Amino acid sequence: MTESLLEIRHLSGGYPPVQVFRNVNLSLFPGESVGLFGPNGHGKTSLMKTLAGLIDPWDGDILFGGKRLNLPGKMKTRLSQHLNYDIFRRRRIDPASVVREGLIYVMQGNLLFPEMTVDEVLAIAPSAAGGRPGIQQMQKQIHALFPRLKERRNSKIRFLSGGERQMVSIAAGLLAMPRLLILDEPTLGLSPKMRLELGAAIQAIRETGLPLLIIDQNVEFLCSLIDRLYLFDHGTITRELDSNHMPDHEQIMSLMFESHA
């Protein structure tokens, strides 16, 4: 068995004092595309934000490419609720170093930077991640993937449609030269036509061999893009399905309901 690219072990977290997810175990292998499916409001996005370093994990390990991204051990609760001065508290995970490692999270319904133009966003995207090699080739690839963005290069993000905004988000994620790209509900609230267009683009990205972790509410759409599926329910992973057992909408509903019983 090859070594996994992303390994999450017994991860728990949330917004203190509310725990959102607990004991999450997940692994992702190089070249693989994995899906995560679960009901709204059960903590999928909080889990992804924790992976990206926006929220401190409470306990457990996040290993990426064999390297630990978070501080080991349990998060200590603060000494006093009334002590506001947080200068001595260490972050348990640093979003900048997560990006430098190549784990890129494309946020759900990302509004990006409303007053910046498409070109400006795509210009700053690579520099933040430390400018890995292959950027120029990636830029060409992005133009091929999203021809729409070339037309709208001088419009401000605020004037783009939801789908175009999602395209900019994904393009910016790709320009960071990821080793793993996490797409959080890329087709949320999009028209069927736009969904097809975006689906084709994601499929094309998958075919380049870039590992993907995709979250989506549409089972058929999701299953067409992945090799393996995790079901996520009530703040933890309840089931793992491989490509031979990809469920349709009916099956997944019964699976989700079974796990409740």
Partner 1 sequence: MELETLLYILVSGLVLGGLYALMAIGLSVVWTTIGVFNFAHGTFVALGAYIAWQVSSSLGGAPGFLLGAVVAPVALFMIGYALHYALVKPFERNPNIVLLSVITTLAAASIIESMIQLIWGPREKQIEAPVNGNLEFAGLSFSAQDILTFVVTLFILAALAWFLKRSRTGRAMRAAAQNREAAQLMGFNVTHLYALTIGIAAATAAIAGLFIGSIRFINPTFGVDPLMKSLIVVIFGGVAHFTSPILAAFIVGLIEAFSVYFFGLYWAPSILFGLMIIVLLIKPEGLFGFQRKTL
Binding residues (CB under 8 A) for partner 1: these are 52-54, 84-87, 95-96, 99-100, 104-107, 110-116, 120-121, 123-125, 127-130, 172, 176
Closest distance of CB 144 from partner 1, Å = 22
CB proximity list for 98: less than 8 A, separation 6 or greater = 51, 52, 53, 64, 69
Q: Which is nearer to partner 1, 78 or 143 (CB)?
A: 78
Closest distance of CB 39 from partner 1, Å = 23
Q: Which is nearer to partner 1, 107 or 202 (CB)?
A: 107
Distance CA 13, CA 59 (A): 7
Closest distance of CB 182 from partner 1, Å = 10
Closest distance of CB 119 from partner 1, Å = 11
Q: Which is nearer to partner 1, 183 or 219 (CB)?
A: 183
Closest distance of CB 177 from partner 1, Å = 11
Backbone angles phi, psi at 199, to 5 degrees: -60, -45
Q: Which is nearer to partner 1, 124 or 253 (CB)?
A: 124
Q: Which residue has the tokens 């349990």?
A: 74
Q: Which is nearer to partner 1, 53 or 247 (CB)?
A: 53
Closest distance of CB 239 from partner 1, Å = 29
Q: Which is nearer to partner 1, 120 or 240 (CB)?
A: 120
Q: Are strands 180-184 and 57-64 parallel, antiparallel or unpaired?
A: unpaired
Closest distance of CB 219 from partner 1, Å = 27
189: left (phi over 0), alpha (psi -120 to 50) or beta: left
Q: Which is nearer to partner 1, 5 or 55 (CB)?
A: 55
